[in-house]
Structure 1
Amino acid sequence: MSHAMTYNSALPDPDYDHAYYDGVPAKRLFAWVIDVLIVTLITLVLGVITLTALLWIWPVVYVTVAFLYRWGSVATWSATLGMRLMNLQLRGRTGHVLSTGEAAAHTGLYLFLSASMILQLVSVGAIALSQRHQGLHDLILGTAALNRPQ
């Protein structure tokens, strides 16, 4: 796979480097399901450890765990555990893996947009229809989920 450049991004061009984007929407869906299960399990374990005290504030705990899980894994590997299992990796506008700050911005924007059903549906539509299969948060930040280069 070559690294053809496009207009204002160093991300691989989907017309010339389509292997980077093959199957990405389905892989993102499966990665998302895995990540939701992991965050839910962590939140439940925290609830049990605290003798259900944290379950009284489930939404706050869930969003906090989701942010820390996504941010930590994206900052470390430029992918969540679900993405890694699906052989995906997030890349920034420069084509490089995401920095800690970019990972925080990506995670924060993702969670913010996920709070609205309409924006979440727009994001899913963008993943399905855009050339690079970018969600709304990816389009705003210039990031993309790619098949991890070998």
Structure 2
Amino acid sequence: MAPSSSHSSYGGRPLPDAMAAPFLYDGITLKRCFAYGIDLIILAMIGGLLWLGISTLSFMTLGLAGWFLWPLAPLVPLAYHTLLIIGPRGQTIGMRLMGIEVCTLEGSPLSFFHAVLMVALFYLTLTFPLLLAFTLFNSRRRALHDIFSGTLVINSDALR
């Protein structure tokens, strides 16, 4: 029923609950932890390259470039997650490796605004243990930022 090339779809209907389709949500919490760990490693590498570039430019401009560029550095994780989540697969690199994807409650791709909202809420509520504990008390394993942004994380190959 789902297209084979991109985001999941459930025939325009809302994705089923965990009781009707447990395969969509099996192991999501653990997969999300590992996916985020992979993304953190990638962001650390990007941060290292960013640090090298900004430091070099700052040195070359006697510190002037640093005043303008360093405040932009915290936007890198927001841009990384947002731009990859609105991509054709709805996955960051870590999510792709772990076989999960983000979608709306209907199973459609996220819009740019939807993705920014989800990622911003994630970083605002980054009391990570609390987020993970919340996933244990609902059938679709949704974290607080998923509920507030109206998104789901599902096993990406479950509908293909």
TM-score by length of 2: 0.77
Structure-1 residue corresponding to 2:130? 122
AA aligned opposite 1:83? M
Check whether the contact 1:12–1:95 (CA below 8 A) recurs between aligned residues: no
The CA deviation at 1:135 is 0.8
Alignment map for 1:1-150 (pairs within 5 Å) = 10-51=14-55, 61=73, 63-76=74-87, 77-114=89-126, 117=127, 120-148=128-156, 149-150=159-160
Identity %: 28
Q: Secondary structure of 1:89's match?
A: strand
RMSD: 2.6
Check whether the contact 2:54–2:70 (CA below 8 A) recurs between aligned residues: no
The CA deviation at 1:122 is 2.3
Check whether the contact 2:81–2:92 (CA below 8 A) recurs between aligned residues: yes
The CA deviation at 1:121 is 2.9
CA distance in 1, matches of 2:151, 2:83: 17
CA distance in 2, matches of 1:66, 1:59: 13
Question: Number of residue pairs matched?
Answer: 140
CA distance in 2, matches of 1:60, 1:50: 10
Q: Gapped runs of 5+ residues in structure 1? A: none
Q: Secondary structure of 2:136's match?
A: helix
Measured at CA, do residues 39 and 58 of structure 1 come closer, stay the same or move farther in structure 2, by a change above 3 Å? farther
The CA deviation at 1:99 is 1.5
- Cα distance per residue 1:86-123 (max 9 Å; x no partner): 11111112221211121111111111111xx3xx3321
The CA deviation at 1:10 is 1.1
CA distance in 2, matches of 1:13, 1:137: 18
CA distance in 2, matches of 1:4, 1:18: 18
Q: Which has the larger radius of gyration?
A: 2
CA distance in 1, matches of 2:153, 2:15: 10
Relative CO higher for 1 or 2, CA cutoff 8 Å, sep ≥ 6?
2
The CA deviation at 1:4 is 10
